[in-house]
Structure 1
C-alpha cells in the first residue's frame, strides 16, 4: 500500500487517499465557491470524517497562531478560507484597483452572453463561448456588472443577470436598448445567434479593449 512517505514532491498519486491530508484539504479549500462540509471533504479525500475534522481544526489553530493574513473558519456547517479583518484595508485597495482596469476580451464576450441570454447559468455561458468562464464570471461579479438571479429549475445551477451598474456604464435606460444581434451576424440564416461570434463585444470602461487574456 502506498503511503505519503512513498510520494516524491510534485508527484500526483493515483490514489487520492495516499495524499497528505492537510495539504490536500488546503488545496481543495483554495478553490471552493462555498463552505465545504466535513462529510463532503471526507468523502472526497477518502478519509474518516473524524480525521478530517481534527485536521481542519489543527489548520485553523495553526493559521491563528502564526498570524497569517487569512484564517480557516467553520461557517454555516462548512469550512472555508477568509481574509482576516485586520488586513481589510489591503484587500479593499486591491479590489478597488481592479475596478479601474480594462475588461479583457474574454470578459467582454462573457458579459455579452449574459446580457443577451439572462438569466443564464455559468455552464450555459461556457457552452456558448466554448471555454470555461468561472474566472471571468468572478471578475464580472467583483466589478458589479453581473449579479446572481436565483437558481435554474431542475438543475439548481445559479443564474446570473446584468446589474443596474451595467446599464449605467453602457448608457442604457433598459435592456430593451441593447443593440440587435442581426447586424453582427455574418449570415443570419447560417450562423446561430448563440455562437460567440454572434455576440458583439463592448467595454463599459473603454471603447476598444486590446487584451484577449482570460482572467
Structure 2
C-alpha cells in the first residue's frame, strides 16, 4: 500500500465503500487476470487506531455521554470494522474506544478523602494511640495517622488533658519534647517509684547531676568547658550521660574542633519539659557574692 493511501481519512474510506449488491461481478474462473494492487483491501488497523486516537483526544474525562456518542460514531462510520479486534482484548472499534476512554476517566479521578471522625471517635482514637506510644508524638503525626485535619487534633488533645485533670486521674496528658504523652501525676511518684524500682536505685550521682545541669544551661558546650566550670575532669561522667541518652554530640567547635554536647529529647521527656526554654532560671539559686567569687578566681 502506498503512503498516499495510508493517509486517506476515515470519511473518505467510508464514502468509497460500495454495498455488495452494487459491486461488479468477479471474472469467470477460466479467465485468468492479474491481481490489481490498487484494488487491494484497505488496511483497516491503522485507520481504526487513528480514529480511536482522535476520538480519545476530543472526548475528555467525566463526559460519559460524549464517550458513548464518539464510540457509536466510530462504529457506524466503518461497519467493516465491527469485527476488528484489539491487540489485547476482543471487541469492535466502538468497544475499544469505550475501554480506552473509561480507563482514562478512572486514571484522572482523585481518591476520595477519608471520612471525618466524630468527636467521640476522634477522642477514642487519640487515647488508644497515646496508650501505646513510647515517646511524645506530635499533633501532625497524629493527624496523618488518623487522616484528619490537624486543626481538630490540637483542640481535642487539650480537651482530653483538661478532662483527665478535672476527673482527678492518677495520670495526665501533657506536652513534652514537642509532642504529647501520658504521664503519671507527681503526687503519686513515690508509689510508682516503689513499684518500678523495687528496691533498686537508678538515681544519677551528684557529679552526673552537676554535669547534666552545666550541659543543659550552657549547651552546646565542650568537655573542656564543662570541666572548667566544675573544676574537675568530666570525661567519665559525660560518657555515662551519653550512654543513658541524656546528652548527645551535636557537631564540633569551629576554632578548636572539640566535640559539642547538648541535651536530648529524652532529657526533656524525663523532666516533663517541652523545650529547654522552660528550664527554671538560675538567678534565684546564685549566691549574693557571685561577682566577688568570679573576681577571686581570675
TM-score range, shorter chain: 0.3 to 0.5
TM-score (norm 2): 0.30
TM-score (norm 1): 0.42
Q: If you compute each CA radius of gyration, which structure gives the higher value, 1 or 2?
A: 2
Higher helix share: 2
